[in-house]
């Protein structure tokens, strides 16, 4: 089916274009031209659909508590409402039984035509208990090779990212995970600056939620934050809700890290059962009085970056689309609008409110 859309302002992921027509067919963009532009029916603003690499639940369903395909469907609906076309459903530190059930949920969702799911993001339990945050201490442990081999074999092609503390996981195990095309992200880590730098120089290319649950930047102990700041290529996610990280701290990090910084929502859902019980407190979630997740959408992340941090709109969009795609290095997941690419478009009003999503 051939469809055309007139657009007043288009951001491709690399440049701004004005007053043109995007045509797409069978989910692919076939042309972008100024011919036949219709100003009366033009969409005010079109940008690449967004990407969220860390989201735990939606509609009162947390994936770790309800490891079912229906939970992932709820997450997808929530993602669409916030401008996201591609997402990683995430579970915090859990038993192997729940990890396997979460893998089953992703398998069922994708094998039955579910859209947008990049794969499962397993955050913990192979983390440092000193930086556990809201994770349950009794579950946290260093993994054995056998344990990791069994999980990887069971979740082959369905696990896309694992967050772990590299100082508590054997290097051979980290190599094993990466050899199976799973992105290893350093998170919930208490590594000192020198050790953190060593890991970032030797295979780990990304870290999880800057500032949160990682060794802090201090003038005599720069920690993981300092290692990320001083590195040339390592990337890191960030929760831009103003609660996980003060907006001034985001501004500092952006000046230092530039294109290496990207956004996740870290969004959870109200849950009253299970080991992770999240309550909505204002615009954030808490668990037993501890900050445990955000109430963000990725479009809200964009707007916070623009309005609260002073980041250019195009760059804010890249932080929620292009840069997450680059982290995953998956063919056809690029976070851009280009001829021959997927027609994954986020249509916004002039004041950046969601009008509709077009998903390939």
Residues recognised as catalytic: 266
Alpha carbon 32 to its chain's center: 29
Closest of 267, 260, 265 to residue 327, by C-alpha: 260
Q: What are phi and psi of 164, to 5 degrees?
A: -145, 165
DSSP secondary structure letter of residue 27:
T
Closest of 348, 354, 247 to residue 304, by C-alpha: 247
Closest of 9, 22, 28, 19 to residue 317, by C-alpha: 9
- Give the span between the Cα atoms of 76 and 71, in whole angstroms: 9
**114 with 72: CB under 8 angstroms?**
yes
Beta-strand pair 345-348/354-358: antiparallel
Closest of 21, 45, 17 to residue 31, by C-alpha: 21
């Amino acid at each position: 089916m051939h469809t055309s859309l007139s657009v007043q302002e288009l951001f491709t992921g690399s440049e701004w274009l004005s007053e043109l027509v995007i045509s797409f067919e069978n989910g692919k963009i076939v042309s972008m031209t100024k011919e036949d532009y219709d100003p009366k029916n033009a969409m005010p603003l079109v940008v690449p659909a967004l990407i969220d690499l860390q989201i735990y639940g939606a509609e009162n369903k947390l994936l770790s508590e309800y490891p079912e395909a229906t939970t992932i469907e709820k997450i997808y609906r929530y993602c669409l409402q916030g401008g996201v076309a591609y997402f990683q459903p995430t579970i915090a530190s859990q038993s192997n039984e729940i990890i396997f059930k979460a893998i089953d949920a992703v398998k069922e969702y994708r094998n039955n035509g579910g859209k947008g799911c990049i794969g499962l993001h397993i955050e913990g339990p192979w983390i440092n208990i000193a930086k556990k945050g809201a994770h349950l201490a009794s579950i946290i442990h260093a993994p054995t090779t056998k344990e990791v081999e069994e999980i990887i074999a069971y979740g082959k092609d369905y696990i896309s990212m694992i967050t772990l503390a590299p100082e508590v996981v054997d290097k051979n195990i980290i190599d094993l995970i990466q050899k199976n095309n799973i992105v290893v992200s350093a998170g919930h880590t208490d590594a000192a600056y020198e050790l953190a730098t060593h890991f970032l120089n030797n295979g780990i290319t990304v870290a999880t939620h800057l500032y949160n649950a990682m060794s802090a930047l201090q003038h005599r102990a720069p920690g993981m934050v300092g290692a990320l700041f001083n590195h040339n290529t390592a990337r890191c996610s960030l929760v831009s809700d103003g609660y996980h990280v003060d907006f001034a701290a985001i501004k500092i990090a952006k000046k230092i890290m530039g294109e290496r910084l990207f956004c996740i929502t870290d969004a959870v859902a109200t849950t009253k059962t299970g080991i992770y019980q999240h309550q909505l407190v204002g615009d954030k979630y808490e668990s037993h009085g501890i900050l445990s997740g955000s109430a963000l959408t990725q479009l809200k992340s964009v707007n916070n970056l623009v309005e609260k941090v002073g980041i250019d709109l195009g760059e804010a969009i890249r932080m929620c689309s292009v840069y997450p795609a680059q982290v995953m290095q998956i063919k056809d997941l690029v976070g851009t609008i280009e001829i021959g690419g997927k027609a994954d478009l986020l249509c916004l009003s002039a004041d950046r409110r969601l009008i509709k999503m077009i998903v390939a």
